[in-house]
Amino acid sequence: MAEAHQAVAFQFTVTPEGVDFRLSREALKHIYLSGINSWKKRLIRIKNGILRGVYPGSPTSWLFVVMTTLGSSYCNVDISMGLVCFIQRWLPEGCGPYRSPQTRTLLSMAIFSTGVWMTGILFFRQTLKLLLSYHGWLFEMHGQTSHFTRVWAMCVRLLSGQRPMLYSFQTSLPKLPVPSVSATIHRYLESVQHLLDDEEYYRMETLAKEFQEKTAPRLQKYLVLKSWWAANYLQPPTHPQVSDWWEEYVYLRGRTPLMVNSNYYVMDLVLVKNTDVQAARLGNIVHAMIMYRRKLDREEIKPVMALGIVPMCSYQMERMFNTTRIPGKDTDVLQHLTDSRHVAVYHKGRFFKLWLYEGSRLLKPRDLEMQFQRILDDPSPPQPGEERLAALTAGGRVEWAQVRQAFFGSGKNKAALDAIERAAFFVALDEESHRYDPEDEASLSLYGKALLHGSCYNRWFDKSFTLIAFKNGQLGLNTEHAWADAPIIGHLWEFVLGTDSFDLGYSETGHCLGKPNPVLAPPQRLQWDIPEQCQAVIESSYQVAKALADDVELYCFQFLPFGKGLIKKCRTSPDAFVQIALQLAYFRDRGKFCLTYEASMTRMFREGRTETVRSCTCESTAFVQAMVQGRHLKADLQDLFRKAAEKHQNACRLAMTGAGIDRHLFCLYVVSKFLGVSSPFLAEVLSEPWRLSTSQTAQFQIRMFDPNKYPNHLGAGGGFGPVANDGYGVSYMIAGENTIFFHVSSKFSSSETNAQRFGNHIRQALLDIADLFQVPKADS
């Protein structure tokens, strides 16, 4: 493909005869159709805003109330108890549409009916919020549901209405409660008692008691006061550009590289192959992603429901597309656009702008395949400084902010950067091939490393997500973490992979179905003018990123002996089983216990994100020590395991219901900084390292297909880098009934950690715990 110039709507040249204007019909057509599409979206948003605003009511229910009022009047029954006559007296007389008595009566009935309808909506909504504040069902044993909970579930179903839209329940979700200081400190001390010796614990207990008596009451008052008017007490009082303190102080204010430290990756289906054609796979996947975005814009996606009853908060999904993290010297900002009609593409050191629409019509998969193939076939070389430009997003945030301000604020550099930052998402066309081969265990780890950091300059780490396509058609995602948590991108990924496999499909030769439109304008090559001074900073950022990437050891493996199905025979939750196995594995690996982080969601509350489950408990350490000693009877070990599992499950329930430890202490710390109050207790708590950071990857949020019918249609989940330099990051996905995928990360620079060694300890720990319950295992 010959070099394509960035489109402009018009050009002009000043000549002695005057000004010569040259209009581009194609660009003007894009502007016109973009305007039409924008107005359509606005009308859809207005309609959805009205429907969402009156949910669980509907226009049909309003019409029913109006007809009931009119019918009662026809039967000479005044169900308004005189209110219709009262409204009629207040209407103006003698002019306009109110001249006729019949018109005045009908209008009064309509006003009365609307008032009754709105009152009913508010009543139902507040009642539903009250019902959703009940979390007793979480603490009941499986199969032992109380009569109260059954009645509660019936009421929730009754008030939830029919066909809710994505954001229909947002105003009915309860607020995240502010825990009491005494309860939080009690749970905190309980979580660290077994990790400290007597002297250290006494010192921490003294600090906690002093904080509780002197400093905490004042901080707690401010937090409670803010919770009265904020949707979530994590929300900041004065920062309109971020959604919560957690987002700002944990993510956006971080000055270290996003790559490895913050971004995480998601893998493709690993046991099935749809096509080997790179461009064809992208054609289907990108088309499916924009279909999802259309459903998202129209709020046609069903809200995620726990047990099919309790709605989860959906606000994080708003910034899935058209979002970029903009670097700043002190703090970054998330830039979100309401719409974007193109994607930015990287291939062999060149950047392209690929339009997703022809006019107002979304390009078909075969057309998108043709456009991606045009990029793959383009022989043009990178411009000076272009090849490693994206390394700026992989290096330090301060350096990137300074360079962005100095060299990308005007001219063609600004236009090209805008094309990337204003894209729906970023697409990376890799020249390497990666795929999981069950006969070659290292293949999964190499695949994960490619997704986590790539070459350090072939991902745009600031975009909400980068879609990565390898040469053999295998895909993956690299996702920025500030805008949302992993289950949100997992929801999109499930839809996309299911649509690709079961709805769109491929021809016998592996291409997208249909015929391409060869007259489509080719993708536009982005133009840069990068001076040598900027190129030097790019090279510096690349060296920083490469050192970070080379230091990461990633060990990914599929655990085959058993999965969720056989774990349930131990009469415990699969998550508790794996978490206790991780404690056993860590103790065997390091000879000691450590503070352990497990992410748990708080999306049953409005604008909730995550809470920490401190999964290294007194009960789990007791079980691990008994297992290592090897002197206990099997029955005693089983009893210790069940106690540890029940403790873990209870900690998860507390975290999910707003009674966790860490978010409350974090907010108290933020308030103390606002007030200029010093707290040695909070400073020490928030500086404690998480040497074992864990997360379970959610799956089957959308029932796109029957997993029993298609057992091999499984993703391998995803992973992230270690949180502590001398620690481990562990992500796992309990993939169906018969297998578990693990992603273990550590740093080569630490002499105390080894990801593969720890992975082997995890394998053995799972087998040893299963042997306690004589669970039969498949051949490994």
* Spatial CA neighbour of 487 closest among 311, 337, 700: 700
DSSP class of residue 291?
A: H
The DSSP result for 122-175, as a single string, is HHHHHHHHHHHT--GGGGSPTT---HHHHHHHHHHHHHT-SS--TTTTGGGSPP
Instruction: Phi first, then psi: give them for residue 314, nearest 5 degrees.
Output: -110, 5
Three-class secondary structure of residue 111 per DSSP: helix
User: Cα separation of 559 and 740, whole Å?
Assistant: 5
Count Cβ neighbours within 10 Å for each residue of 394-420 and write b for 16 or more, e otherwise. Answer: bbbbebbbebbeebbeeeebebbbebb
CA atoms of 512 and 363, how far apart (whole Å): 12
Q: For 348-410, where are the alpha helices, taking DSSP H only?
A: 365-377, 397-407
d(CA 334, CA 326): 6
Distance CA 428, CA 420 (A): 12
3-class secondary structure per residue, 504-531: HCECCCCCECCCCCCCCCCCEECCCCCC
Catalytic residue among 342, 453, 481, 761: 481
- Asked if 393 and 332 touch (Cβ cutoff 8 Å), the reply is no
Q: Is 390 exposed, middle or buried (0-12, 13-18, 19+ CB in 10 A)?
A: buried
Is-catalytic flag, 481?
yes
Q: In which region does residue 505 sit, left (phi positive, over 0), alpha (psi from -120 to 50) or beta (all else)?
A: left
Q: Which burial class, exposed, middle or buried, applies to 471 when counting CB atoms under 10 A from its CB (0-12, 13-18, 19+)?
A: middle
SS (H, E, C) 614-678: ECCCHHHHHHHHHHHHCCCCHHHHHHHHHHHHHHHHHHHHHHHCCCCCHHHHHHHHHHHHHHCCC
φ, ψ of residue 730 in degrees (nearest 5)? -130, 120
Helix, strand, or coil here: 532? helix
DSSP state of 1: -
Which residues does the annotation mark as catalytic? 481
